[in-house]
Structure 1
């Protein structure tokens, strides 16, 4: 089974050895430098349990060339083609003593440049001057997310757990998910590996129990154009030809 066939069937795939140790060190170095210089900005969120940079590639644009190494560009091109672009990016750092956890959910919203009334665009929110909205399902169905792991990730330090094939059930509330007979998987990765997932896949994260750090770069992609009145807030075109 090909990677894209597995992704479409299971809702996620894991690919290790995408980034070398040197590339991971470069990514961490750039992030740490920017974290020191820009820590007061609203897009940089820090607590005892989590450090996050929202609008990550807007805040740290110089990191993009390292992220889009030849291996990742090949994965995107072979599985999705050449018409996808970045729509959203977040950096997560779950510290060694983190008690932060996330319950099962789907990624139902996209980041856009403003709030306007449009048919089938619902559940508007605003966070740190960024507008989010739930678009029509046909947009979410074509989108995908790549999660780049800067540390070895296991279920003990908060690896995502997912409900296999749950993306095929469409949009639904977590309390309406019937777990009888469902397969739950922990998405454990080596440092430098990536997880690719569909936004409608139900996923969650447990508390850290082994005192090991977990750092992840989360990037969302689409090839869908929004209505002309609306724009993707973090749109970044890719050069993967």
Structure 2
């Protein structure tokens, strides 16, 4: 595993980095077992032939938290993010073996909050399953880190993320304006038990699964910024 400071520098430069062997095979087995034994009928769960997702994952399945935040992950968060970062969003994705689900290039431009209020520079708003999301000022987005924990080997054949390196440093970057004469594409293969750290403003997407192998990912976002007093992060976990 590269020295953490190297990953920190790579993330600052390219907008992402991949760290292998953060979780052992046994740790991944235990996390998977907890997820397999949950009640999937709640409204925060999304289930289709192409995708199974759990929003507010750490809130819905609190027993998985201690398994996820092992010593390796806590050290990575402290050394790369700093000691003041906290969880602000968590989602579990399961792209099944025969999934045709794909995601076009985009940036993650919204945050999850507890209610809808009128605030300068906050908007537009969306509501899904009684959860509120809003596009905040750019400085809040620039401050967020995302960790994607991989429960399966993932490559270009089963929906690994594809990204545009350095695009996180260009503010709001509309996918339709990408100039492929200038930009490059990187496929982010991650081994089971590894993770990818990325900035949410990094342009990213994923292709359909073609090799009959599933892809399960735990997506967790972190910030150290407090929101205006009228608003709260919907999933703040310290």
TM-score range normalised by the length of the shorter chain = over 0.9
- 1:57 equivalent to 2:61? Answer no
Distance, in Å, in 1 between the alignment partners of 2:30 and 2:10 is 31
Distance, in Å, in 2 between the alignment partners of 1:176 and 1:125 is 24
Matched with 1:212 is 213
Tell me the SS of whatever aligns to 1:178: coil
Matched with 1:15 is 19
Matched with 2:162 is 161
Matched with 1:226 is 227
CA contact (8 A) 2:167 2:173 kept: no
CA contact (8 A) 2:159 2:206 kept: yes
Deviation at 1:169, TM superposition (A): 1.1
Deviation at 1:172, TM superposition (A): 2.3
Q: Write out per-residue CA displacement over residues 175-211 of structure 1, whole angstroms, 9 at most, x where no aligned residue.
A: 1222212121111011000000001000000000000
Matched with 2:95 is 94
- 1:149 equivalent to 2:153? Answer no
Tell me the SS of whatever aligns to 1:236: coil
Corresponding residue pairs, total: 234
Tell me the SS of whatever aligns to 1:195: strand
Within 5 A, what are the aligned runs for 1:190-205? Answer: 190-205=191-206
- 1:120 equivalent to 2:121? Answer yes
Distance, in Å, in 2 between the alignment partners of 1:179 and 1:202 is 13
- 1:6 equivalent to 2:10? Answer yes
Deviation at 1:2, TM superposition (A): 1.5
Runs of 4+ deviating beyond 6 Å? none
Tell me the SS of whatever aligns to 2:196: strand
Q: Write out per-residue CA displacement over residues 30-72 of structure 1, whole angstroms, 9 at most, x where no aligned residue.
A: 00111xx2x2111111111000011111100110111000000
Matched with 1:103 is 104
CA contact (8 A) 2:150 2:190 kept: yes
Residue 34 (structure 2) aligned to one of 30, 37, 59: 30
Gaps of 5+ in 2: none
